[in-house]
Amino acid sequence: MDSRQASRRGCAASRGALLLSVLFLCTGNSARSILAEAYLNSAGQERFRAYSAGSHPTGKVNPFALELLAQRGIDTAGLRSKSWNEFALPGAPQIDLIFTVCDSAAAEVCPVWPGRPVTAHWGVDDPAAVQGSDDDKRKAFARAFRELSTRIDQLLTA
């Protein structure tokens, strides 16, 4: 086992599995990537450690995202909108998998990631862009969460 693997054994060590780091990228890092980070950390805590970031972070997590997560009993402590540059700095977590979750992020040039993680794109409509009533916005967030949690559940069973 190399030093990178040894440093990431964490709580998965008791099962003999490595703890994989996953980064969810979006443009604003206020909705979809936040939902994915929180859900994977809740559902995959023995196998995965999730993070999220944005190419142009809004600087705040969308309140509808926080509301949805709280209603589902998913911890929101520590969630914040942040730049993907944080994950390209020395000392940043070693990332194994990167998922872009919006079309804007998928079309942008990503920074070079140390260790060359596996990347994939999961296009999800932006619930933060929905105009209309609060009920319309809540429905959009619920749709995005359903789509992301379904994909994450498939990842967890792979």
Active site residues: 26, 102, 110
Distance from the Cα of residue 100 to its chain's centroid: 9
* Tokens found for residue 150: 């379904």
CA 147-143-76 angle, 5° bins: 85
Q: Check if the beta carbon of residue 34 is closer than 8 Å to that of residue 52.
A: yes
d(CA 130, CA 65): 13
How far apart are the C-alpha atoms of 158 and 153, rounded to whole Å? Answer: 9
